[in-house]
Every structure is written in structure tokens, then in C-alpha cells.
Amino acid sequence: MRIAAFIMSLPLSERLLFSMEALFRLALAGLFGGIVGFEREHSHRPAGFRTHILVAVGSALIMLTSSFMFNEFHGKTNIDPARLGAQVISGIGFLGAGTILREGFSVKGLTTAASLWTVSCIGLATGIGYYEGAAIATVFLIVTLHILRSAAFKGSREAVVSVSVTDYAAATRSITNLARENMGAVKSIQIVVQESDESVIHKKKEMLVLKVRLAAQNLKKLEKIKSALIELEEVLDTHEED
């Protein structure tokens, strides 16, 4: 008890208090961004858990840096030291956009784009002398990119199903709608082989074999999607890949 009282009696500098406040605000921003990202991740949207955390932490860091700059330069100059930094915040979007790619039904590179933008915010904070905030944000960035990548959403389920169809465009629309109606998503559709169905029933229609990667929030919903595939008008047969 005496030790705690002694520590509390130590004089705390204004900058140290600001750094403690920054730690709390950055952590809270990451928490709030993660909550929204958690929902987006489980809805199988391109911008998910880590992307939302990075954007939230970067945005909070920029506001903290602005507050730091006001306290640091208040009354010392009549110019705005944030003008050049503001151009970095908006301009880095062009660089981030170049890392976003669409591959079939999935979008890749959003987390990389968000990390680039967050790193630009860290650079601004470092350049103005706000080292504590830059260091805290860097720790959040590393934790988000590496630790949370393997720790999140182990309950999500995926499966690869080979689907024989007669019409690629119609089947793609039907499969995508079916997945969405059951709170799932189609990650990718790949044409594996094209063969001729010479049965009397199908009247020698050309048959496409598609490899469909499905995702759902849990195993029950995934099984429901797989069992409903065969009921689609454009689907002739289904077979789950090992």
C-alpha cells in the first residue's frame, strides 16, 4: 500500500499523462473498430476484422497527433503546421488503391491498403515528434496483422464443391443468391472441365463442371447451402471435394 501511495505521489509530467491518455484512446478505437469488423468478417465482406481495426487506430492517431501539435505549437507560430500532413492522409489512398485486387468473387489487398494508410499516420506522428503515439500505434499494427490473423473466427466454415451445370451465368447467379440467403458467401468459382452430357433426360446439353468454394458462419448453415445446391434448376449434380 505504501509503494502504491509513493508511486501516486510522484510528479507526472503533462506529456506522460497525455501518453497514458493516448494509450487508452488508441486501445478503445481498436476495440470499437474490431467490434464492427467482427460483424463484417462473419458476414463474409471484403473489409473485415483487421481492416476495421487498422483504420480505427490510424484515425485515432491522427486526431491525437493534431491535439499534440496544437499543444506543442500553440502561441509559437501563426502558420498551420498540419497543412502538409493533411495532404499525406488523403494522398496515400492512391497508393493503397493499387494494392486492392479483385479475384473472381473475392477482394484481396484491403488489409494491406489499410496498413499502408496507418503507417502513413505513424510517419506523420513521428515526424512531428509525437513518438509515444507512433510507438503505441505500431504495436497495435503488429498485433493486428500477425496475432489476430490466426486467432480470429475459427468458427467460420468453408467447403469446396464440384457442381455440374448447363449454364454458367445462370448457375453462378443462383449459387451466389442461395449462399447469401443462408448467410453465406461464394469465395470463388472455377471452371474445371467442360464435357458433353449425352443422356436422354438432359438432351445432350453441354455440361460445365465448376469448383465452387463456399463459406458460412457455421457448419449447420454450410450443410444447408450444400444440400440446396442440387435443387437449383441449372445444377445437374454436386460432389464435395476432399
Q: Look at residue 63 and tell me whether its pLDDT is greater than 50.
A: yes
Residues 152/211, Cβ–Cβ less than 8 Å: no
pLDDT at 130: 87
Break the chain into its structural domains and give their ranges: 11-151, 157-240
Distance, in Å, from the CA atom of 76 to the CA atom of 199, rounded to the nearest integer, reads 86
Instruction: Between 199 and 144, name the one with better pLDDT.
Output: 144
pLDDT at 195: 56
Domain 157-240 has CATH 3.30.70.260: yes
Distance, in Å, from the CA atom of 21 to the CA atom of 29, rounded to the nearest integer, reads 12
pLDDT at 90: 76
pLDDT tens-digit map of 76-106? 766 666 666 777 777 777 766 766 666 555 6
Write the CA distances from 19 to 13, 73, 176, integer angstroms. 10, 17, 48
pLDDT at 203: 47
Q: Look at residue 133 and tell me whether its pLDDT is greater than 70.
A: yes
pLDDT at 149: 66
pLDDT tens-digit map of 160-194? 888 888 888 888 888 888 888 887 777 778 887 66
Question: pLDDT band at residue 211, thresholds of 50, 70 and 90?
Answer: confident
Q: DSSP assignment of 165-206, as one string?
A: ES-HHHHHHHHHHHHHHTTEEEEEEEEEEEEE---TTTTT-E
Q: Is the C-alpha dihedral spanning 183, 189, 192, 196 positive or negative? A: positive
Residue found by looking up cell 513518438 in the block = 131
Q: What is the dihedral of CA 226, 231, 232, 238, to 10 degrees?
A: 50
